[in-house]
């Protein structure tokens, strides 16, 4: 099946902004992180790993490298700012203990269909440290030749030698943090990166045979305007990356205090912010890119575009993927595993993570054991996020009566189509306009969100 070109996104009525611009999850997981429990710990994770060792399916493997040489003001990640290179060696010492401990629980080598190294800035590690990291992974896990193996990089601080080393170690995809090419926007967020150095790094990656390069862009940053954003999009399309992720900026200064450094009065809001995404959508459509899920785009030749067209798209904490590894094992500070029917998150503080490892424990700070209903609802939300559609089985008009009732106003507003059959089955289809409000469409299926007290403190970014 050939991937479809991007549909036209119609103008958004101002009333829609007023109605649907609310705090809401991005649904990288369900149940979402605020539902995870502090009384979930190492013993719970150990039981999950014991259950998982009986499953021969390949894993997704994630490693978090938290270090950055400076803090970007927009950042929502868990990072440690340092210029001390030796901290990378100390971190790898601890990481090796964790990898050993988990691999032993899993019963030795396990096949890996997806490998993702994220951060922070993974290329904070120098070439020798990168060699050491992969020397820790490969004896313990069998990374398949067909695996999607990705490292996140900042082209402004990544060297040619590092990119060459990563390719030799088996990395076949790179994800470039670009965000925006406008100098004023870059200065306001503390992330200066020239078009020329980005192009040089992309040319190097292609020359070395990387299968795919992704660009991350962010809309909703300070001082972004349609004019400056158009220039950024033109420059991005000049480079023609294989994939793009166009993220809405999550302005959450109550959770990320360093974001208070941003000029809040220069942030675009409401329809101005949403129009930046529509502008990007139109530019990518005219360039021939294919829509993937909520906020990703791919060139027609890229496997991600084919997976979207064929309904085989996967999604996990690292984003959309063609490798539908059913479970994820994650290592490092704040890393999140999804395995054996649980979510398990490592400590966010280095001292806490280190202490648990030195005490001989699996370093788990919190997590959640999923119920059968959680699993069912997770699949429903994943189908919406990946396929922009949902087919509910016979009897669902009763089983999900509350959800369908909540979705009816969204259908009247043109965000989705609801078709019910006499047997009680229900078909939901997201419209082109509804793609802009996909999080809002998923929220009625979030039973835990409905149960949360209305006076609870804000935990999510806004959906528009």
pLDDT on residue 7:
62
Domain with CATH 3.80.30.20 in the chain: 36-331
pLDDT on residue 60:
94
Q: What is the pTM of this model?
A: 0.92
Domain 1-31+372-464 class, CATH top level: mainly alpha
Superfamily grouping for domain 36-331: tm_1862 like domain (3.80.30.20)
Q: Secondary structure of the chain in the HEC alphabet? A: CCCCCCCCCCCCCHHHHHHHCCECCCCCCCCCHHHCECCCCHHHHHHHHHHHCCCCCCEEEEEEECEECCCCCCCCCCCEECCCCHHHHHHHHHHHHHHHHHHHHCCCCCEEEEEEEEECCHHHCCHHHHHHHHHHHCCCCEEEEEEEEEEEECCCCCCHHHHHHHHHCCCCEEEEEEECCCHHHHHHHCCCCCHHHHHHHHHHHHHHCCCEEEEEEEECCCCCCHHHHHHHHHHHHHHCCCEEEEEECCCCCCCCHHHHHCCHHHCCCHHHHHHHHHHHHHHHHHCCCEEECCCEEECCCCHHHHHHHHCCCEEECCEEECCCCCEEEEECCCCEEEECCEEEECCCCHHHHHHHHHCCCCCCCEEEECCHHHHHHHHHHHHHHHHCEEEECCCHHHHCHHHHHHHHHHHHCCCEEEEECCCCCEEEEECCHHHHHHHHHHHHHCHHHHHCCCCCCCCCCECC
pLDDT tens sequence for the chain (464 residues): 344 455 667 788 888 988 998 889 999 999 999 999 999 999 999 999 999 998 889 999 999 999 999 999 899 889 999 999 999 999 999 999 999 999 999 987 789 999 999 999 999 999 999 999 999 999 999 999 999 999 999 999 999 999 999 999 999 999 999 999 999 999 999 999 999 999 999 999 999 999 999 999 999 999 999 999 999 999 999 999 999 999 999 888 888 899 999 999 999 988 899 899 999 999 999 999 998 988 999 999 999 999 888 888 888 888 888 866 789 999 999 999 999 999 999 999 999 999 999 999 999 999 999 999 999 999 999 999 998 999 999 999 999 999 999 999 999 999 999 999 999 999 999 998 998 899 999 999 999 998 876 655 667 878 88
pLDDT on residue 5:
52
Domain with CATH 1.10.10.920 in the chain: 1-31+372-464
């Amino acid at each position: 099946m050939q991937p479809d070109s991007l549909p036209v996104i119609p103008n958004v009525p101002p009333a829609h902004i007023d109605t649907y611009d609310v705090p809401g999850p991005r649904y990288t997981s369900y149940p979402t992180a605020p539902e995870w429990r502090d009384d979930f710990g190492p013993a719970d994770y150990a039981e999950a790993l014991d259950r998982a060792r009986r499953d021969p399916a390949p894993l997704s493997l994630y490693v978090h490298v938290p270090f950055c040489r400076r803090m970007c003001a927009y950042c929502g990640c868990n990072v440690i700012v340092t210029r001390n290179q030796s901290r990378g060696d100390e971190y790898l010492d601890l990481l090796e203990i964790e990898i050993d401990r988990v691999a032993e629980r899993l019963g030795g080598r396990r096949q890996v269909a997806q490998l993702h190294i994220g951060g922070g800035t993974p290329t904070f590690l120098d070439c020798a440290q990168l060699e050491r990291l992969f020397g820790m992974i490969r004896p313990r896990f069998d990374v398949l030749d067909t695996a999607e193996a990705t490292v996140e990089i900042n082209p402004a601080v990544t060297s040619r030698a590092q990119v060459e080393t990563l390719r030799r170690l088996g990395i076949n995809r790179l994800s470039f943090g670009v965000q925006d090419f406008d100098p004023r926007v870059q200065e306001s967020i503390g992330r200066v990166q020239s078009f020329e150095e980005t192009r040089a790094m992309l040319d190097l990656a292609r020359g070395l045979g990387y299968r795919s390069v992704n660009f991350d862009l962010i809309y909703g940053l300070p001082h972004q305007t349609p004019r400056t954003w158009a220039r950024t999009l033109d420059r991005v399309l000049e480079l023609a990356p294989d994939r793009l992720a166009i993220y809405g900026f999550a302005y959450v200064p109550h959770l990320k205090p360093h974001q208070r450094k941003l000029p809040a009065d220069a942030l675009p809001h409401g329809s101005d912010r949403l129009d930046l995404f529509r502008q990007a959508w139109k530019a990518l459509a005219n360039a021939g890119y294919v829509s993937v899920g909520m906020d990703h785009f791919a060139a027609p030749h890229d496997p991600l575009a084919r997976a979207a067209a064929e309904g085989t798209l996967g999604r996990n904490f690292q984003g959309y993927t063609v490798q539908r590894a059913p479970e994820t094992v994650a290592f490092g500070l704040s890393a999140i595993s999804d395995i054996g029917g649980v979510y398990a998150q490592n400590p966010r503080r280095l001292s806490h993570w280190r202490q648990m490892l030195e005490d001989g424990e699996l370093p788990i700070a919190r997590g959640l054991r999923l119920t059968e209903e959680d699993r069912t609802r997770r699949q429903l939300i994943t189908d919406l996020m990946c396929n922009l559609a949902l087919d509910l089985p016979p009897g669902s008009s009763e089983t999900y009566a509350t959800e369908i009732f909540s979705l009816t106003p969204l259908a009247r507003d043109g965000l989705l189509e609801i078709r019910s059959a006499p047997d009680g089955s229900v078909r939901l289809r997201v419209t082109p306009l509804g793609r802009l409000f996909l999080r809002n469409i998923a929220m009625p299926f979030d039973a835990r969100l409905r149960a949360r007290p209305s006076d609870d403190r804000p935990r999510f970014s806004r959906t528009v």
